[in-house]
Amino acid sequence: MDDTTNRALHSLDLAPGASIDDVKKSYRELALIWHPDKVPDRVKDRATAKFTEINEAYQWLVRNPEKLRMPSSSRASSQRQQPPRYRTSSQTAHERREHARTGASSRTGNGSSTDPAVQRVRRAARGIWTNTRAGLYIHPDIDADRGANFIVSLQNNALFRGVAATVADLLVFYDIDGSGEEGMAITRSNRLVNNNTSTLYDIGDLVEVRLKEGFFVPWGEIEVRRNGQRGFESAGYAEKAPGRALVDILRNLISDDDRA
């Protein structure tokens, strides 16, 4: 295991052998402890430095999850491996992933530029571009491999079955963890889905969306309000840049519904 990964694990109070789930759990716990907004003024500078260290460690590990699986003696390249594949008893991992990546959608339109749903999202995303460094992909630039991992993960959860069949059904995709396994997406079926927080919304039911940003925190919380409800609900967390883009697109989609 390389020195950068070892230092990142140490920053998160973890030892070699920790899983990506351990990383996420420890990050959440430490972020609550060291958040600069939650400490007295006399230790705010120290908390800010520690919070920055925690975030940098977390970002390194979630963007390079394969590093966690490398033995200590390994001196493998720092290049990321291909996203992991899922196993299933009815199909091979390769078959499921290839179907999600290239298989024909069961819905009409197939994600083509003439599909009304695609046109709506293109209008809503006008001036917003794919940002691969931030993990934000906008049709037609959806990363096929990461998108396929996301589709398979949706199909493995009964809550999301029928939401999206192939990568062609993803019109906006935010890759939260860098592998595609966890993400937030706007689908051609006009749904907002986040398998990281197990949330699913019909965008036609939404009347308001906002991004709550913390001053020292690199992440923001996307909140939505549904028709007939007074309060907001959390739709999940995103880094600030893709979070702002997602909120802008959702607001435009809601406005488009209002005009319809």
The two tokens of residue 173 are 């995709």
Domains 3-69 and 93-259 share a fold: no
Measured from the Cβ of residue 66, the count of other Cβ atoms closer than 10 Å reads: 17
SS3 state of residue 137:
strand
Instruction: For residues 213 and 236, give the distance between their C-alpha atoms in angstroms, rounded to a whole number.
Output: 12
Position 40 scores a pLDDT of: 67
Position 136 pLDDT exceeds 90: yes
Q: Per this entry, what is the length of the chain?
A: 260
Q: Is the pLDDT of residue 171 over 90?
A: yes
- Reported as a pLDDT band with limits 50, 70 and 90, residue 215 is low
* 91, containing H or E segment: none
pTM above 0.95, yes or no: no
Distance (Å, rounded) from C-alpha 176 to C-alpha 108? 28
Q: How far apart are CA 168 and CA 207, in angstroms?
A: 26
pLDDT mean over 125-141: 93
Q: Is the peptide bond before 140 cis (omega within 30 degrees of 0)?
A: yes
Query: Has residue 214 got a pLDDT over 60?
Result: yes
Query: Which residues are within 8 A (CB) of 206 and not within 5 positions of it... i.e. 6 or more apart?
Result: 192, 224, 225, 226, 227, 250, 254
Instruction: Pick 239 or 191 by higher pLDDT.
Output: 191
Could you tell me the two tokens for 237? Answer: 């967390």
CA 49 to chain centroid, in Å, comes to 26
**What sign for the dihedral angle of Cα 236, 238, 240, 246?**
negative
pLDDT in tens, 92-118: 556 666 767 766 443 434 555 678 999
Indicate if the pLDDT at residue 78 is higher than 60.
Answer: no
Class of domain 3-69: mainly alpha
* Average pLDDT score over residue span 152-168: 92
Unique residue bearing structure tokens 């020195």: 3
Higher pLDDT, 242 or 49: 242
Question: Tokens 């749903």, residue?
Answer: 117
Indicate the burial class of 215 (C-beta count within 10 angstroms; 0-12, 13-18, 19 or more).
Answer: exposed
Q: What is the secondary structure of 93-134 as a DSSP string?
A: HHHHHHHHHHSPPSSTTTT-TTSHHHHHHHHHTTT---BTTT
For residue 129, pLDDT beyond 60:
yes
Top CATH class of 93-259 equals mainly beta
Interval 28-44 mean pLDDT: 75
pLDDT at 190: 95
Domain regions of the chain by residue span = 3-69, 93-259
Flag whether pLDDT at 252 surpasses 50: yes
Residue 109: CB atoms within 10 A of its CB come to 15
Least confident span in 33-42, 58-67, 87-96, 192-201: 87-96
What is residue 69's predicted lDDT score, i.e. its pLDDT? 78
Q: Write the pLDDT tens digit of every residue in 46-77.
A: 778 888 888 889 988 988 888 887 654 433 33
* Number of helices (H), then strands (E), in the chain: 7, 8
Average pLDDT over residues 130-153: 93
Closest CA to 180 of 142, 211, 218: 142
Give mean pLDDT, residues 133-148: 93
The arithmetic mean of pLDDT across residues 135-152, rounded, is 94
Instruction: Give strand pairing partners of 236.
Output: 222
Cα separation, 53 vs 36, in Å, equals 13
1 band by pLDDT with thresholds 50, 70 and 90 = low
